[in-house]
Structure 1
């Protein structure tokens, strides 16, 4: 029977997927080379005085089955388009473990790979209260990106250097 390659029918065991699974960014994604990001909120109603609100653009739900509202940004934007002074990922590697807790990552690419999951976003800006742990307002990155809102609507992601730039 062995030489005739005759055997009992075999069943293939397939792994069951969870019924509700949070979306992750795949290696070959239609979103391109984007990652999940988190931003502090900034109220832009008064052009002359920015008001940094003590909240983030979205909050992570407690339940594992709920979807996470999320934002994405390109890795080029996160890394400052090649300008090391504008690289928000490097800033996060240096400061995030002091601000939010947890272990310090040793390499930038570890944070970048983890950000394919919405539970581990890259922080493009921090709230004022969170910055107190690392020196307060002076620790705010010059190129930090905030989620701008007005009284009537949300504006979206905007860099702080565009908000504080004074025309001569």
Structure 2
């Protein structure tokens, strides 16, 4: 009888362990598969509004679709990886004129599409994405995926090359 109870206890314990682990795997797989697909860049926002256009109006919105970055995409291929493509490259520089900071923008569109690889992890709608060796946080809410890049906006002094402005940048993609 004692051997029977030990075997029964072992079988019940084994069943509980496998049942719990497979449910967790299903939750992770379902969450990751829910974000698979093509996400299009919709907006880029600054953490703190700046007068990038030098028109006297500070704005947190750096880019809104459609526009020169309107063909940029994030493609999630599977549970851990994908690709990202930006349809233009933009750099910002500044000059100081009597204590007022003026911004200058240089942008070039990409003629050839080159999708860059990304890796990511996701749990409970919050994730970490690794792009070009930089880890950034992202959140997913229904059909919106927002990636926040620490110090992703950098403007350099046009003369010295020193960083004059640096702040977080958020890329918002829609599915």
TM-score (norm 1): 0.26
Q: Rg: which structure is higher? A: 2
**Structure with larger RCO (C-alpha < 8 A, sep 6+):** 1
Higher helix proportion = 1
TM-score (norm 2): 0.25
Higher strand proportion = 2
